[in-house]
Structure 1
Amino acid sequence: MTRFGIEEEFALLDEETLVPVPLGGAAIDALTGGTGTFPPGGAGTVKKEFLTSQVEFATSPVQALAEAESQLRMCRSALTDFARAHRAVAVGMGTPFGVGPAGTVTASDRYGKIARWLGLISDTHHVNGLHVHVEIPDAEARVRALNAVRPWLPLLLALSANSAFADARDTGHASWRSIIMRRLPLFGSPPRFIDVDHYHATVDRLVRAHVIPDAASVSWAARISARYPTLELRVFDAQLCADDTLLLAALCRALVFTAPAEGSVHETDAVQTSLWAAARWGMDATLMHPVSGEPIPARSAIDLLRRTTAPALEESGDLALVNEHLARVLRDGNGAERQRAAHRDSGIAGLRALVSTPQPAAA
């Protein structure tokens, strides 16, 4: 099977109030020993993110899900230990529970450029995502894969929605991060592209028109990576636990190679409105059927996703894991549902307990 990589963004929050705290730089130094890699000299990387309350962990390119699992669990465990020592929690959530003062942008030339581009949006851009890269060496094949996964993006968002709270209140949405991201010019469904030249011409035109500062700032829910020979799926909220992340990564890789391209040519507006429904209602949404375009309940569409990806999952050896974790999510809910259940039971103390649950270390 082809290689893939995972990028997870985390927010560092005060352990009592769940308000972001500017510990990102200290966390990176503690985890990497100044090398930028985790463990120091190892395969993964821990990097600065847009705000000083955030960190990002990126696995190395891997072929087996077990390799990714080992890297994810090791980093999550170390980050949890660091946070606990600083009276904080390291949280995989699309948005933090409490926001407090305006966010502080991490000092760097690129982030400064982006902050100037975003203007006042920067102050409230508290969003954390999960990105999955799937390696596709051929450039034209990457564009065909992007076209094929477009109509599946709403279902992937419904499955992964994990940002029910912001500003210390229930937003009424399953993925509030997705709503915040709609303030950016390119968020949501990419258009359908004819070929790789069409893709790059479109991005170049947007840069020349000053719609985005550079090609790396394309923020569609899926895109061709500007740095790697990969298709990058960016639709996901950051996830509460490594098991949720691994489920989504396995589905991404399988879907890239099994999503039917024929019969799934949908208008961008249709995908975009389905993405809004997924952000609003999560797994209770009525979405656009990825093939026919007709309305379908999200939970029914999960069965279609399972059937579509089964051949590739069986080939990679991931079918049993995906079936197990899909059953768990269908039973216990996505991250947004689990957040609401915890808050409904015990308020902020319940959320605190949910996000403070120790992350199992790598086996």
Structure 2
Amino acid sequence: MGVEEEFLLADRTTRLTAPRAPAVLARVGAGGPGLVHAELLTSQVEATTGVCGDAEELRAHLVAGRARLVEAAREEDCLLLATGMPCLSGADVRNTPGPRFDAIADRYRAVVDDYESCGLHVHVGVPDRDTAVAVVDHLRPWLPTLLALSVNSPFGGGRDTGYGSWRVVRQSAFPGFGVPPRFGSAAGYDAGVARLVDCGVLVDPRMSFWLARPSSVFPTVEVRAADAALTVDGAVLQAVLTRALVRTALADLDRGVEGPVVDEQVAAAAVWSAARHGVTGPGVDVLAGRAVPVGDLVAGMLGHVAAALEDTGDDALVRRLLKELVADGTGAERQRRAAVGGGAAVVDLVAEATRAGG
């Protein structure tokens, strides 16, 4: 497995997001696991881990990636922020230059002008692309629950939106967002993406906005449900749960079990509910088609992946991290608690939580 973490940069004095990604990336030293990259806007950077075999190795990669970016940001008088959307946005943020980013900016216009959106993407290795698509078909009911556990973007335009994940609400403006359709095969997936490219709503076949997909670059399933993780622990939790879901799907496929039928409107309702409430309010059981407590959804997920977590030795780790999440609150809850001190206090909370992991 491997993880991509997206971050924002904020000026250390004003706490506003700052367009200094090129300078920060230029300062990141060579060495250490993983890579760093530019993102769509000049206030964003990304760190990717290497391929990891267990949670301990993944944690070491995540810590190293954060540490490199925290130090490079400090040298540019910036704070590194692990948040799905900023609390305080700068006025001079602009698109990162480059042919593909230029094409995205031209295609989506105002939707991406201030789209300072950061997510956490988990990759899990699979044998081939047909298997990747079949696994994604199995993951569909569980994607909203992964989102609910990760919500970390309650603010938009400097105000509390009332949502746990404003990032997901903003992302819903793009075509092809949400729980993916059931494609059945790599050929079916490729045809579906090509159709959207032909319709003119996707820039190229590498682009889609579904919460899970076969990677266009690696031999992996890529799950993109989560907001950027406030802490390293949050990133580890998403990764090991995602790997357990993939391993469970592979075991089901070996037994000839196909992915379940999911009503697309119910799935959309589940994504909205997860973005709105996180773990503090009602959720939607995608398979039953009804509202249930989020705790029931999490318990159902744990039961579903119990054998996979035992096989990888991650059961105790997951239960500990979930217990700590309930005690400390999601990233969105923690940001809201800090907001009693104003927007700068929220930025400082996020910066400290991001830095502590590295």
Q: Deviations over 1:280-303 (max 9, x none)?
A: 111134233244333221122111
The alignment status of 1:267 with 2:257, answered yes or no, reads no
- Identity percentage of aligned residues: 38
The alignment status of 1:299 with 2:295, answered yes or no, reads yes
Aligned to 1:313: 309
Where in structure 2 are the equivalents of 1:2-151 lying within 5 Å? Answer: 4-32=1-29, 40-101=30-91, 103-151=93-141
Aligned to 1:235: 225
Aligned-partner residue type, residue 311 of structure 1: A
Instruction: Give the CA RMSD over aligned residues.
Output: 1.8
Aligned-partner residue type, residue 296 of structure 2: S
The alignment status of 1:356 with 2:341, answered yes or no, reads no
Moved more, 65-74 or 347-356: 347-356
Aligned-partner residue type, residue 6 of structure 2: E
Q: d(CA) in 2 for partners of 1:282 and 1:138?
A: 33
- CA 1:356–1:209 in 2, change beyond 3 Å: closer, same or farther? closer
Q: d(CA) in 2 for partners of 1:357 and 1:109?
A: 35
Secondary structure of 1:330 counterpart: helix
Q: d(CA) in 2 for partners of 1:290 and 1:279?
A: 15
Q: Deviations over 1:94-141 (max 9, x none)?
A: 001111315311111111111111112221211011100111112222
Where in structure 2 are the equivalents of 1:204-243 lying within 5 Å? Answer: 204-243=194-233
Q: d(CA) in 1 for partners of 2:149 and 2:212?
A: 16
Question: How far did residue 180 of structure 1 move?
Answer: 0.6
The alignment status of 1:198 with 2:188, answered yes or no, reads yes
Aligned-partner residue type, residue 109 of structure 2: G
Q: d(CA) in 2 for partners of 1:112 and 1:101?
A: 19
Q: d(CA) in 1 for partners of 2:350 and 2:280?
A: 23
Secondary structure of 1:94 counterpart: coil
Q: d(CA) in 2 for partners of 1:262 and 1:337?
A: 37
TM-score after normalising by structure 2: 0.93
Aligned to 1:170: 160
Report if the CA contact (8 A) 2:49-2:65 is conserved: no
Paired residues in the alignment total 351
- CA 1:292–1:46 in 2, change beyond 3 Å: closer, same or farther? same
Secondary structure of 1:357 counterpart: helix
- CA 1:170–1:150 in 2, change beyond 3 Å: closer, same or farther? same
Unpaired segments ≥5 residues, structure 2: none
- CA 1:328–1:62 in 2, change beyond 3 Å: closer, same or farther? same
Aligned-partner residue type, residue 187 of structure 1: F
Question: How far did residue 162 of structure 1 move?
Answer: 0.5
TM-score after normalising by structure 1: 0.92
